[in-house]
Structure 1
Amino acid sequence: MRNIAVLLVLLMTSCSSRKEAGHVFDYFHQEKPKEIPQIFAPNVVSVQGRFEMGFTISPNGKSIAFGVAHESDPSATCIYLMNFDNGKWSIPDKTFLPDNINTFFPMFDPTGKEFYFVKSIENLETDIWVASRLKNAITNPRPLNSVINSESREAGHGKSKSGSFYFTSNRDDKYQCCGDIFMSELSEGGYLSTKRVEALNSGADEESLFLSPDEDYIIIQAWKQEFDSKHDLYISYKSKNGLWTKPERLDTAINGKEIEQRPFVSPDNKYLFFSRMHVVSENGQEIYESDIYWVSTRSVFGPYPYNVVSMPEISFNKPFEIQLPDDLFRDVNGAIVSYGVSLEYEDKLPEWINFDEKKLLLTGIWESEVSRDVVITAYDDDGNKGVVNIPVTVKNN
């Protein structure tokens, strides 16, 4: 067993911190992870032999909360809070939340004034709760209304700056075996209705999520059993017309054969946190253990189609000019540095098409008699790429 007491003393007596993008973030003096996920805060947040799942950081970086589960002791299934004050972190505390039993999945809202979590009472299905937060104190915990909470299980949840609330639920009679993603828009009267977000759901179990404060991307935990894995993390982006892109599985360095779940992205968008559950053998018995991991988002975010326009009809063997929009692609935390263009089923552009990369302008004389897709690829400064296919209809005069 690692020496928890010594490490806690060292961390609590430290006075250094780091300021990024207007927020204070202190990551316990750990070496920052790159493309390979690392256990976060060993012996403090991630403790050997303990089952941690769910993690969140307040918008100002001065509070963190994480969940701990226990298979047979409900009182040990709870949420811990740590506050950063006067250059040091407080000891993990579970007394901050009244009746902190059978509580899960903590999440601060984008203002830092609300604290959301999931709770089960008397072993009934879990509901989503909210509490008020002022000067690091959590008060007045209460369940959300019956629009959000149903008689079925509600679990993953996230709130945007505009007030949109996304959550997972087993309320759909057709898919009660599996959780699906629903959302509710905030109105003057509060949350009055919900709708199932079809673009984010599948036949699999969507169990938890992280919604970006600007509602421009969402990371989903889904049990699709792809690539010999179980629960994996997927990302979807919202386009200019308000539609979500098809969720794409994150890098294999993040999604392994273990169970990856409970995603959270740091307020500066630099680090992805998630829980990884694996099986360890101890005294001839299989024991499930879960730790909090973190990894750089350099391989998480890439260029994504944002403003995809319809191509004008083009005449065969006639001059054409196609202006692509400047915001055809976006990137959450990187800069788009170059583009590539080709025709569908070909590696490069034919000589009769010119592409001005600076102006995003396609010109030439269209020499194909059949309709084709123009394939546009954007590359960011982290080496990631995004691709969009835009159909071109050819008119024969």
Structure 2
Amino acid sequence: MKLQALAWTVAFALACAGPLKAAELLGPGVISTGLQETTAAFSPDGQTLYFLRSDFAETDDTILVSHRQGKSWSTPEVASFSGQWHDSEPTFTPDGKRLYFVSNRPVRPGGASLVVEMHGQHFPGTNLWYVERQADGRWGEPNHVDGALNDGAMLYNPSVAANGDIYFSAHRPDSGNSYQIYVVHPAGSGYSNPQRVELGDISHNRMDPCIDPRGRFLLFAGDEGDSLGSADIYIAFRQADGSWSKPEHLGGDVNTKSLENAPTLGPTFGELYVSSNRQEDVHFPKRRDTVATLQQRLSGPLNGSRNIWRVDISSVLRTHGIND
């Protein structure tokens, strides 16, 4: 089949695939609250969840952990390795033996916390760290990941493939004016120099990569020119020659006019979690509020804070020949 005909076939199939299933708020009132929650990281068995909670200004980021209890989630607790520094964006390795995250904590004991400057603004810097599962099931002490990937101290949202490749977003000398997605490969006892993932015009901002464990597709947040809001979720597929397809805007209930970012995969096929600040619609005249009802609504998950939402992209994956 000629490439042009194949492209039309795929486009027609996507159009006929039907809408994705409606988004579901993850753990309303427990996981998703009136604060900011992003970056869902599930253990391989789906029974443990690590995620980020912060204030609206995102000046105080902490990694929390919760455990599945039937159809609900336990009250979150601060992760054993977090709570003192600006820690964020946890992600498991596919085998569950390591959990990576980014932090402004000192690279060496007794050193200063990381601070970076961009466009005249100072904010916490980030380096890549990981904790490793010990024989008793607990996490060990955090380990700093040395190498060029941490140059500039602006590394965000790591995502690890089964072969050990680490994808992340960063602002580096070859990023242009925007953030781009990079990958490093295991090399000896460390990692290769970062390589920018070629996804098209670098004037487009690309953040928060989420790699399929087998490397068949890549999800990220950004605006490829057709975003419904300030950032949406896109997907690109690995081609036969190893390159990436043109990013596709995900339909259904994945993207809205609100901000969507931090895509992560769940433990079952097609299960995708995204962060979004989508709100409940308010229609006027509204039912008259009391102080109590107003306080309840404005402090709840749909008050404009970012929360974690579950969506289903299995139909898109199947359209591209991915069934597991």
TM-score, reference length from structure 2 = 0.75
Q: Structure 1 residue 41 and structure 2 residue 27: aligned?
A: yes
In the TM superposition, what whole-angstrom CA distance separates every residue of 1:359-383 from its partner, at most 9, and x where no partner exists? xxxxxxxxxxxxxxxxxxxxxxxxx
Aligned to 2:170: 169
Q: Structure 1 residue 50 and structure 2 residue 35: aligned?
A: yes
Give 1:95 deviation, angstroms.
Answer: 4.4
Aligned partners of 1:80 and 1:94 also within 8 Å: yes
Could you say what secondary structure the match of 1:68 adopts?
strand
Give 1:217 deviation, angstroms.
Answer: 0.9
Residues 60, 234 of structure 1: alpha-carbon distance in 2 compared, 3 angstrom cutoff: same
Q: Structure 1 residue 206 and structure 2 residue 190: aligned?
A: no
Residues 200, 82 of structure 1: alpha-carbon distance in 2 compared, 3 angstrom cutoff: farther
Residues 227, 218 of structure 1: alpha-carbon distance in 2 compared, 3 angstrom cutoff: closer
Q: Structure 1 residue 289 and structure 2 residue 275: aligned?
A: no
Give 1:192 deviation, angstroms.
Answer: 2.9
Distance between the aligned counterparts of 2:304 and 2:172, measured in 1?
Answer: 28
Distance between the aligned counterparts of 2:85 and 2:271, measured in 1?
Answer: 29
Could you say what secondary structure the match of 2:140 adopts?
strand
Aligned partners of 1:83 and 1:136 also within 8 Å: no
Distance between the aligned counterparts of 1:136 and 1:87, measured in 2?
Answer: 24
Distance between the aligned counterparts of 1:55 and 1:211, measured in 2?
Answer: 14
Distance between the aligned counterparts of 1:151 and 1:101, measured in 2?
Answer: 18
Aligned to 1:108: 92
Could you say what secondary structure the match of 1:301 adopts?
helix
Instruction: Kindly provide the amino acid, as one letter, of the partner of residue 26 in structure 2.
Output: F
Aligned to 1:316: none
Instruction: Kindly provide the amino acid, as one letter, of the partner of residue 178 in structure 1.
Output: S
Q: Structure 1 residue 62 and structure 2 residue 62: aligned?
A: no
Aligned partners of 2:30 and 2:73 also within 8 Å: no
Aligned to 1:120: 104
Aligned to 1:325: none
CA RMSD between the two structures: 2.9
Distance between the aligned counterparts of 2:313 and 2:81, measured in 1?
Answer: 31
Distance between the aligned counterparts of 2:68 and 2:322, measured in 1?
Answer: 31
Give 1:268 deviation, angstroms.
Answer: 2.4
Aligned to 1:276: 276
Q: 1:78 aligns with which of 58, 62, 80?
A: 62
Distance between the aligned counterparts of 1:99 and 1:41, measured in 2?
Answer: 22
In the TM superposition, what whole-angstrom CA distance separates every residue of 1:238-293 from its partner, at most 9, and x where no partner exists? 12322211111101421110111110111322311110124689899xx6411110
Instruction: Kindly provide the amino acid, as one letter, of the partner of residue 85 in structure 2.
Output: I
Q: Which runs of 5+ in 1 are unaligned?
A: 1-33, 305-329, 334-397
Residues 189, 87 of structure 1: alpha-carbon distance in 2 compared, 3 angstrom cutoff: same
Aligned to 1:143: 144
Greater helix fraction, Structure 1 or Structure 2? 2
Give 1:125 deviation, angstroms.
Answer: 1.9
Could you say what secondary structure the match of 1:218 adopts?
strand
Aligned partners of 1:233 and 1:261 also within 8 Å: yes
| Identical counterparts, % of pairs | 21
The alignment covers a number of residue pairs equal to 272
TM-score, reference length from structure 1 = 0.62
Instruction: Kindly provide the amino acid, as one letter, of the partner of residue 88 in structure 2.
Output: F
Aligned partners of 1:181 and 1:201 also within 8 Å: no
Distance between the aligned counterparts of 1:89 and 1:38, measured in 2?
Answer: 15
Aligned partners of 2:22 and 2:252 also within 8 Å: no
Give 1:120 deviation, angstroms.
Answer: 2.6
Aligned partners of 1:118 and 1:128 also within 8 Å: yes
Residues 88, 70 of structure 1: alpha-carbon distance in 2 compared, 3 angstrom cutoff: closer
Could you say what secondary structure the match of 1:204 adopts?
coil
Q: Structure 1 residue 160 and structure 2 residue 170: aligned?
A: no
Distance between the aligned counterparts of 1:117 and 1:278, measured in 2?
Answer: 26
Aligned to 1:303: 319
Instruction: Kindly provide the amino acid, as one letter, of the partner of residue 127 in structure 2.
Output: D
Distance between the aligned counterparts of 2:229 and 2:307, measured in 1?
Answer: 18
| Larger of the two Rg values belongs to structure | 1
Aligned partners of 2:269 and 2:314 also within 8 Å: no
Distance between the aligned counterparts of 2:198 and 2:58, measured in 1?
Answer: 37
Aligned partners of 1:35 and 1:299 also within 8 Å: no
Q: Which runs of 5+ in 2 are unaligned?
A: 1-19, 106-112, 114-122, 283-293
Aligned to 2:78: 94
Distance between the aligned counterparts of 1:174 and 1:59, measured in 2?
Answer: 33
Aligned partners of 1:63 and 1:136 also within 8 Å: no
Residues 136, 88 of structure 1: alpha-carbon distance in 2 compared, 3 angstrom cutoff: farther
Could you say what secondary structure the match of 2:203 adopts?
coil
